[in-house]
Amino acid sequence: MTRKLIVSSFVVAGISTAVFCSPRSSEGEPAAHPSTAVGQRGEGVPDFWIRPGFKVSLVAELRNARFMEFDDKGTLYVSQPDLGTISTFKNQGGKYTKIGEFTTGHRTVHGMHFYNGWLWFTESGAIFKGRDTNGDGKADETVTVLDNLPKGGHWWRPIFVTPNGFFTSIGDSGNINDETNTDRQKVWFYSLDGKTRKLWASGLRNTEKYRYRPGTTELYGADHGSDWFGKPIGDANGKQPVTDLNPPCEFNLYVEGGFYGHPFITGNKVPRIEFQNRPDIIDLADKTIVPAWSFGGHYAPNGFCFMSKNGLGTDLVGDALVAHHGSWNSLKKVGYQVERVCFDKVTGKPYGSQMLVGTLSKSGDVLGRPVDCVEAPDGSVFFSDDHGGKIYRISKAGS
């Protein structure tokens, strides 16, 4: 009984500490499509909500557009996991035209990172790197870096390469499984040849992309919160006041040796009710590193990018743009947006956030499901949409 009371007070504390800069509706969530003036909408862009001062343009169309990456020549790579293909695009007067398929036959292909002439990429159970030596958009050489990795569930997705090795991970095989003694729910740091590795961090649910904050070696990633938080105390399909707002999705700063709570502890050290009777639950909460920034529950943040250029204005340099895929386990559709996380230029920490582009219509229809954000060579930001099969550019209004 005492434990239950403790959990309840943690839940309340978790809700009250969430900070949103955008307007909030009476339900406690920021409005999905605020009835304010909107920014500029280019030709072919649906009825998105766009923050005044910004413009959204359609730059490419392709089915199942998931993660994106630019190389040093301005070639855009887009992974299409259902097709097993990475397609390549070139800028032709602002529109991106497909020039080829960098690789195909890699069903579930997902995260990518271009590093030192090679495009590294993942699929369920394996990591590869390939390179295009004659500029036709097709890989001329592909090397298997790792195979025989665990497959399935939240599969092997992210890759981030540094001079000393690469970060990668695999998430939970389901919702809240205790997979402490497996490769899952952990960030691994491998040597560049894939032969040795060390554990970097643990206690994540599903983080699909890692990047350093510009000018630092601070490793950031967005982690999905778990589902059905309130089920053990009576939330049921269709009536889920606890589950709808809990737990938060997380923007985490993954430090070496850090523990991030999952599956036992959520958000700001709130135990999952299923694990509250573990004798070590308070110790687990004690060692959990809380999110650097909390997103709304069920937003499902996938990819993100940090702004290193001035394309959206000097005040956004150093901020992150996060692509939220949007909810399924919430009665009201939430998420469905590209959100700016503002970083304090003095402390280097997040201090606020705001929706830049909302992808629900005024009547709540899904117009797009953002998957990834990437900074283009000109400093604008592209986001992918695997619902509509589109890639959009966010730029300054009037540009």
Q: Please say which residue, 29 or 172, places its beta carbon nearer to Ca ion.
A: 172
Least distance from C-beta 182 to Ca ion, angstroms? 18
Tokens 């997103």, residue located = 295
Nearest to 303 by CA among 198, 226, 391: 391
Residues 298 and 333: their CA atoms lie apart, in Å, by: 9
Least distance from C-beta 140 to Ca ion, angstroms? 4
If binding is defined by CB under 5 A, does position 49 make contact with Ca ion?
no
Contact 86, 79 (CB under 8 A): yes
Mark the segment that binds Ca ion (CB under 5 A) among 43-51, 156-164, 187-195, 242-250.
242-250
If binding is defined by CB under 5 A, does position 286 make contact with Ca ion?
no
Applying CB under 5 A, what is the total number of residues that bind Ca ion? 8
SS (H, E, C) the chain: CHHHHHHHHHHHHHHHCCCCCCCECCCCCECCCCCCCCCEECCCCCCCEECCCEEEEEEEECCCCCCEEECCCCCEEEEECCCCEEEEEEEECCEEEEEEEEECCCCCCCCEEEECCEEEEEECCEEEEEECCCCCCCCCEEEEEECCCCCCCCCCCCEEEECCEEEEEECCCCCCCCCCCCCCCEEEEECCCCCCEEEEEECCCCEEEEEECCCCCCEEEEECCCCCCCHHHCCECCECHHHHHCCCEEEEECCCCEECCCCCEECCCEECHHHCCCCCHHHHHHHECCCCEEECCCCCEEEEEECCCCCCCHHHCCCEEEEECCCCCCCCCCCCEEEEEEECCCCCCEEEEEEEEECECCCCCECCCEEEEEECCCCCEEEEECCCCEEEEEEECCC
Mark the segment that binds Ca ion (CB under 5 A) among 61-69, 75-83, 121-129, 245-253.
245-253
Least distance from C-beta 12 to Ca ion, angstroms? 18
If binding is defined by CB under 5 A, does position 138 make contact with Ca ion?
yes
Q: Which of residues 85-124 bind Ca ion (CB under 5 A)?
A: none
Q: Please say which residue, 69 or 132, places its beta carbon nearer to Ca ion.
A: 132
If binding is defined by CB under 5 A, does position 132 make contact with Ca ion?
yes
Least distance from C-beta 243 to Ca ion, angstroms? 17
Binding pattern for the stretch 140-179 against Ca ion, x by CB under 5 A and - elsewhere: x---------------------------------------
Q: Please say which residue, 57 or 302, places its beta carbon nearer to Ca ion.
A: 302
Q: Please say which residue, 51 or 269, places its beta carbon nearer to Ca ion.
A: 269
Binding pattern for the stretch 250-279 against Ca ion, x by CB under 5 A and - elsewhere: x---------xx------------------
Using Cβ positions, the residue closest to Ca ion within the complex turns out to be: 261
Mark the segment that binds Ca ion (CB under 5 A) among 122-130, 139-147, 162-170, 362-370.
139-147
Least distance from C-beta 259 to Ca ion, angstroms? 9
Least distance from C-beta 205 to Ca ion, angstroms? 7
Q: Please say which residue, 111 or 261, places its beta carbon nearer to Ca ion.
A: 261
Residues 385 and 357: their CA atoms lie apart, in Å, by: 12
Residues 299 and 293: their CA atoms lie apart, in Å, by: 13
Q: Please say which residue, 136 or 286, places its beta carbon nearer to Ca ion.
A: 136
If binding is defined by CB under 5 A, does position 14 make contact with Ca ion?
no
Q: Please say which residue, 132 or 375, places its beta carbon nearer to Ca ion.
A: 132
Q: Evaluate the omega torsion of the peptide bond into residue 377 and state whether it is cis, within 30 degrees of 0.
A: no
Least distance from C-beta 250 to Ca ion, angstroms? 5
Least distance from C-beta 134 to Ca ion, angstroms? 5
Q: Please say which residue, 134 or 148, places its beta carbon nearer to Ca ion.
A: 134
Mark the segment that binds Ca ion (CB under 5 A) among 105-113, 130-138, 273-281, 363-371.
130-138
Residues of the shown chain interacting with Ca ion in the complex, contacts defined by CB under 5 A: 132, 134, 136, 138, 140, 250, 260-261
